[in-house]
Structure 1
Amino acid sequence: MKTILSVIDWYLPGYRAGGTLKAFANQVAQLEGTFRFKIITRDTDYCETIPYDNVTSDAWNQIAPNAEAYYISAGKLSVSEMIKLFKKTAFDAVYIHGIYSFYFSVLPVVLAKRKGTPRIVITAHGMLGEHALKVKSSRKKVFLKLAGLLGLYKGVIFHAANEAEATDIKKSVGKNARVMIAEELPMKIELETWSKKNKSAGALSIASVARISPEKNTLFALEVLSRCTTGNIVYDIFGPVYDQDYWKQCLAVIERMPAGVKVTYKGSLPGNLVLDELRSYHLMFMPTTGENFGHTILESFMAATPVLISDKTPWLLPEKKQSGWALPLDDKDEFENIISKLTLMNGEEYNHYSLGAHNKAVEFMADQSVLQQNIKLFEDE
């Protein structure tokens, strides 16, 4: 069985890094019996400084039947430590997460090439998408230019989650970049049998599970809700505050919400609790500016909770399927109309959409071709 050395800034038992961490954790679980993973990561969660209390830092930890993780402490993280780990660890291929992190994205490419690794795969996790490149754009452009001049990505394979991301990668790295498409995998669980949700006409509960940031468009969501005057709406926000200035703008909108809209910030939600939490809501609302996949969207379907999202994700939501709505961000009125429409629905009307969301998850999780795509990422050709 092949061993894949994977390098990622944050991994389990962390959860604050969101989709990047979740995507890889799902992949490791789904590929049990096919590949072994050795994972080099930090011993702290995203935006945290206190090490995990249930792992041994600066040592290999068995964390799954097919996975070991080396949790590097802040004091040990260095070029020399990474050189030592690459030199002493036996592996058949390298899987690098992200683009800009020096220790976990850039240096590993150099070290893998130095060791003569036959297969180096980089997954950008949407970091080369147009929406992502707008954040700190000058620095990113300089880095990508230097990477091109130095041939950093010569001979590597880029993993794209879909055709759109493949196009983004070629635009940023070069038209000759080698890209393989493998959709992201769902959690390795059995879906529960669908059952009706309680819903009264005139009441709606909404959840958002995403970091508070311009990319996730939290402010837009709040602005839409500030225009909703139909019925009683509960909007609970889960996720780390990524940008304090941006959060202040959000708080200003929260202060002027209509009497019928109650907004509560719930803090970060551990990844293993997201699915159960989403089951208790009528709608998941995330008008993101761009996603290369959107794990929270899939988990919402798995929770039989329809979604209201932007059209900047890979998820197509035709009305006839009744699983949710994917709307253009320049049509704030339509976002408001959908929320008002849902608020007024009774249980019988609403449960058509709950069942539609469940069916969307069943359809996606039954597609075995996605698993085969992920296996091919690491196979010899």
Structure 2
Amino acid sequence: MTRPVVMLFCRTYLPGFRSGGPVRTLANLIDALGDEYDFRVVTLDRDWGSNECYPGVDHDRSMPVGKAHVHYLDPARISPAVLRSLVRMVQPSLIYLNSLFDLALARRVLLLRRFRQLPEVPVLLAPRGQLNPGALELKAATKRAYLALLRHGGLLDCVHWQATGEPEAQAIREALGEGFIARNTAGLHVAPNISCARFGDPEKWQPRASNEPLRIVMLGRVAPMKNVDFAIKVLAAMEEPARLDILGPLEDADHLAACREAAKRIGPRREVHFRGPVEPADIPDLLASYDCFLSPTRGENFGHAIAEALSSGLPAIISDRTPWQDLAKQKAGEVIPLGNPVAFAQKLDELARMPGNELRQLHRYCIDYAKASLRQAAILDANRALLDIARGRGESELNRKTWC
């Protein structure tokens, strides 16, 4: 039986990892459903923020990467003609765009489609949290102007939209307008991200010595969206000794400079270390050496870093702008509204004063919660249904309009 062909356009894909969650989202999707769908990935030939091409790339043909075939493009040589030729060669049953604000690939595909330069193929667009309020707050005028241009220019007409949960679906409704969704879209569908969780063993976690600082970790890009400067304010407000390690690529130079300057002023018994990017395979072992996870993020549509931290047994102290809303109820951490670094600091101080045996029990609760939350069967079914609905082989619960 011939598998449906899904042609996926994304700015970064494997072996890249610096862009964080989006790469893992797509890799997990393809690994989980690659036996049922023929995934053809079109991406750039380098990692996020890098000027170096991946080694061994052949720009003239697609290459097998896991369960997908990947065509790597030199960003200097991308043109409408190249993208049009690739789509016509592949003849997909569905085009899947991984980003709304990707100017290198997504925008070009939408323009080609708008001016009927592509075959009439359904398009599924996943904004990956880009329309969440916290994301739109950053460079708000530019983003809203670009979104208005896409809407009024007809580039988003008859596009299927993916949200990873009801909060993101509501954010999409608010950003686009209910009327636009009702009149102009082919459907708004909810399908959670697929996790590839590697669950830790709480018995392997070693409590720190009584004179050592609380070991706090952040995992993600050093960028305004991740609110690293806020995390440093939290550390400064703590009473107990603490060390904050930030694992992730240094994306925004201005933000990094401001964070380094703030870190110099936090006083004694406080340490902040920028550890840089980490290979995905090394993350579970690294997380096992910390006491807790901190993420005062401005917004996440899923939060792969949160899932990985919980799966490794780390209590998560996070903002209220993620789908992970019931941590306190499950004894797996705390959800705290942004705006009050003292509340974050008080929770971290509470963990710092907790005896080792009690903290180990929290690690057990976190792993149990992660296992229950990341139920693969239901999530796989939702993503399978999403791909079938978008290519015209199913029916959406949120919007039953067919592709137009």
Determine if the TM-score, normalized by the shorter chain, exceeds 0.5: yes
Relative distance call for 1:34 and 1:193 in structure 2 (3 A) is: farther
Separation in 1, partners of 2:343, 2:84: 53
Are residues 1:21 and 2:23 paired?
A: yes
Are residues 1:92 and 2:100 paired?
A: no
Is this contact kept in 1: 2:244–2:273, CA < 8 A? yes
Is this contact kept in 1: 2:194–2:376, CA < 8 A? no
Are residues 1:265 and 2:274 paired?
A: yes
Are residues 1:121 and 2:124 paired?
A: yes
Are residues 1:57 and 2:54 paired?
A: no
Q: How far 1:190 sits from its partner (Å)?
A: 5.7
Separation in 1, partners of 2:264, 2:34: 48
Separation in 2, partners of 1:198, 1:258: 27
Q: How far 1:137 sits from its partner (Å)?
A: 1.8
Separation in 2, partners of 1:86, 1:181: 26
1:220-264 per-residue CA deviation (whole Å, 9 max, x = no partner) reads 100110122313x22111122222222222111211233212221
- Which of 191, 197, 222 is equivalent to 2:199? 191
Q: 2:260 aligns to what?
A: 251
So what's the TM-score if we normalise by structure 1? 0.94
Is this contact kept in 2: 1:92–1:117, CA < 8 A? no
- Which of 220, 233, 236 is equivalent to 2:230? 220
Separation in 1, partners of 2:198, 2:137: 38
Q: 1:109 aligns to what?
A: 110
Are residues 1:326 and 2:367 paired?
A: no
2:75 is paired with a residue whose SS is coil
- Which of 222, 246, 269 is equivalent to 1:237? 246
Q: 1:33 aligns to what?
A: 35
Separation in 2, partners of 1:355, 1:54: 43
1:303-334 per-residue CA deviation (whole Å, 9 max, x = no partner) reads 11111110111102343421111101123222
Is this contact kept in 1: 2:201–2:313, CA < 8 A? no
Separation in 2, partners of 1:58, 1:360: 46
Separation in 2, partners of 1:257, 1:103: 40
Is this contact kept in 1: 2:296–2:338, CA < 8 A? yes
Separation in 2, partners of 1:298, 1:318: 12
| Counterpart residue type for residue 378 of structure 2 | S
| Counterpart residue type for residue 95 of structure 1 | Y
Gaps of 5+ in 2: 395-404
Relative distance call for 1:293 and 1:190 in structure 2 (3 A) is: closer
Q: How far 1:112 sits from its partner (Å)?
A: 5.0
Aligned pairs (5 A) from 1:1-381:
1-64=3-66, 66-111=67-112, 114=116, 115-175=118-178, 176=182, 177=185, 178-187=187-196, 191-200=199-208, 201=210, 203-231=213-241, 233-379=242-388, 380-381=393-394
Gaps of 5+ in 1: none
1:70-113 per-residue CA deviation (whole Å, 9 max, x = no partner) reads 00013322222112111211321111011122331122234456
Is this contact kept in 2: 1:228–1:258, CA < 8 A? no
Higher mean C-alpha displacement, 178-187 vs 272-281:
272-281
